[in-house]
């Protein structure tokens, strides 16, 4: 499994809010994802599953439990998608436990919008 470590909200290396991003073909069982998050020991580990062109499913795990919403890990996941997995995309829509989230790329900036149900 590939794991990317991304610092969100940062202007310099080794600053910001870190998240691990794990692209997966299908989600492993919850105990495996929880174990990976505990081992990463970062505020959040996000697992992203590609559904269709710009559509992904995202799940977030802290070292202790699954969480319903995490903005910085969503932006970190978008960074991975925009810069490593699908650089042709300008927008990504995530399905999540907390609602539908959309991230738009504007040059080197990203905007997060959502219909939140938390």
Tell me the domains of the chain and their CATH numbers: 4-116 (3.10.310.10)
pLDDT (0 to 100) of residue 16: 83
CA distance 13 to 37: 22
Please check the confidence at residue 114 and state whether its pLDDT lies above 90: no
Q: What is the 3-state secondary structure (H, E, C) of 51-117?
A: EECCEEEEEEECCCCEECCCHHHHHHHHHHHHHHHCCCCCEEEEEECCEEEEEEEECCEEEEEEEEC
Active site residue 13: no
Given the residues 44, 79, 90, 100, select the one marked as catalytic: 44
pTM metric for this prediction? 0.93
CB 57 within 8 A of CB 96: yes
CA distance 45 to 99: 18
| Confidence bin at 91 (pLDDT 50/70/90) | very high
Look up residue 1 and give its DSSP letter.
Answer: -
pLDDT (0 to 100) of residue 11: 67
Model pLDDT for residues 41-54, shown as the tens digit of each residue: 999 999 999 999 99
Please check the confidence at residue 29 and state whether its pLDDT lies above 80: yes
Average pLDDT of the chain, as a whole number: 94
């Amino acid at each position: 499994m590939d794991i990317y470590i991304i610092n969100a909200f940062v202007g310099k290396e080794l600053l910001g809010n870190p998240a691990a991003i794990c692209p997966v073909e299908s989600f492993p069982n919850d105990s495996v994802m929880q174990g990976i998050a505990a081992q990463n020991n970062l505020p959040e580990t996000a697992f992203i599953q590609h559904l269709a062109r710009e559509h992904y499913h995202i799940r977030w795990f802290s070292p202790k439990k699954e969480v319903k919403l995490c903005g910085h890990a969503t932006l970190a996941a978008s960074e991975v998608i925009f810069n490593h997995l699908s650089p042709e995309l300008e927008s990504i829509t995530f399905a999540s436990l907390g609602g539908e989230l959309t991230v738009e790329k504007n040059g080197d900036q990203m905007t997060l919008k959502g219909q939140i149900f938390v």
